[in-house]
Amino acid sequence: MHPRAGTVAQEADLIDVDRVVGAYYDLRPDPENPAQRVVFGTSGHRGSSLDGAFNEAHIVATTAAIVEYRREQGTDGPLFIGRDTHALSLPAWQTALEVLAAAGVTVMIDARDSYTPTPAVSQSILLHNEALTEAGVRTSGPGLADGIVVTPSHNPPRDGGFKYNPPHGGPAGSDATGRIADRANEILAGGIATVPRISLEAALAAGTTHRHDFLTTYVDDLASVLDLEAIRSAGVRIGADPLGGASVEYWGAIGERYDLDLTVVNPQVDPRWAFMTLDHDGRIRMDCSSPSAMASLVATMRGTTTDAASSGPAPYDIATGNDADSDRHGIVTPDGGLMNPNHYLAVAIRYLFSGGRPDWGDGAAIGKTLVSSSLIDRVAGGLGRKVVEVPVGFKWFVPGLLTGEVAFGGEESAGASFLRRDGRVWSTDKDGLLLALLASEILATTGRTPSQHHAELVAEYGESWYARVDAPASREEKAALSALSPSDVTATEVAGQPITAKLTEAPGNGAKIGGLKVTTADSWFAARPSGTEDVYKIYAESFVSAEHLTEVQAAAREVVANALT
């Protein structure tokens, strides 16, 4: 933990916006340098212009690759494009539009020339594709829409990000991102001068460029997925903190449209994020699941400031935060502070499946990533619901959400979405505004905060201790970890308990984990290599004690070390 974690950023912590944006245009990436090539992770290509990892050449090449990919797939409908509030997002958005317009792609840009949350892009794609047929959302055939979101999510201010959402509306799968990245790197190596491109002025004036009201489309449709009348009638006092992100104008519009007692806690947008409190490592990061990054909102709920010890009455019944592209949520309650994301997911699942959504089918399943808490499994067991456990990445929930076979999909990193009240798909990407508003619906309809609901779950299913830590690993060790098979694990117990399963494939869909998960009756751990650092990540949980969790983590290191030798 950094000594200044949870304190407001100082001048030395802030980026020089002009330098970051200047580097976007001035630096030329080296295609032979792996650190400066296009690489799609679980949420698109990310990097900093200052490192030669997110520059104009990357966006020209990647957009050109997307143009080719959508043609190969027969995707000939409009492309919806949105951006967040990072300093590099507007330049990259402009570059992409110049390439898309030159290629004759019909592009839907924000009618307000403003920011667009990731879930609003996903929803607009799905609404367009749903209107093409009477049989739900169509993902093949003519006229289909897709999208691009220019965002590095919760990454620090110096970073940029660029992700592609195919016609299913969610994050692109590895097949698509692999082909797009490979082609983009070919274009980088050959030189971007061959890519057709027109000026920004010409692109904005092109007959293929249209304005789309993402905000009104999203806000007016929220009543189909949430009981907003219950929130209004109960008079729930909501404090919504956009954390300087793309939801900044959406929250005010939601409050006004549905006559909610909703305050936008901090409407400021600053590409330096000078108002943020530092994350655990001393960096500015808009992670709404981090107690350090959310320290200001937590202090507001205590009726004080981040550096004061006294407390007063909470100004809101529920306070929420979102990251820069609003696909993640943070829930703060007067009685519990910032909720652990796993705890809130379990609460949301029990509420929605135990009567909160009576029109959902009895067979609709619960989706979770394999590194999410086993409390979810215990809650699902109590509800008699099937759990679909998938690898890390929201893309794995997309097929089930589209068909309604999965009614809720959630990640341990505070990302989730769920079906409309009538059982139709809402979004196939994470929706931080949706989950934030659900907390107020839960309070309005049950009279208890999500924290109180979690206490009930603990009383029924037991308390758990959960953490993620990193361990050093060379590139060779990371590659070996990704290629492990269950037979490579010779251990028979973990922290004094017999091993019940050794997994290298997700039980929900048989997809490769890219690592290892080991379970016992009261604990589990999962180990996955980092895609950007020479470490591997150890996720672990114990239903025994905090001390037992430490033992599980130690055992995880030993099991992985032995398996790699």
DSSP designation for 317: S
Check 89, 153, 289, 296 and give the catalytic one: 153
Report how far Cα 442 is from the mean position of its chain's Cα atoms.
22
Do the strands 79-83 and 146-150 form a parallel or antiparallel pair, or are they unpaired? parallel
Residues of 143-157 as b/e, b for ≥16 C-beta within 10 angstroms?
bbbbbbbbbbbbbbb
Distance separating alpha carbons of residues 551 and 540, to the nearest angstrom: 10
DSSP designation for 206: S
* DSSP per residue, 73-123: TT--S-EEEEE-SSTTHHHHHHHHHHHHHHTT--EEEETTSS---HHHHHH
Report how far Cα 397 is from the mean position of its chain's Cα atoms.
13
Please indicate whether residue 140 is annotated as part of the active site. no
Nearest in space to 446 (alpha carbons), one of 456, 459, 434: 456
DSSP designation for 356: I
Cβ pair 543, 374 in contact under 8 A: yes
Distance separating alpha carbons of residues 340 and 486, to the nearest angstrom: 31
Active site positions, annotated: 153
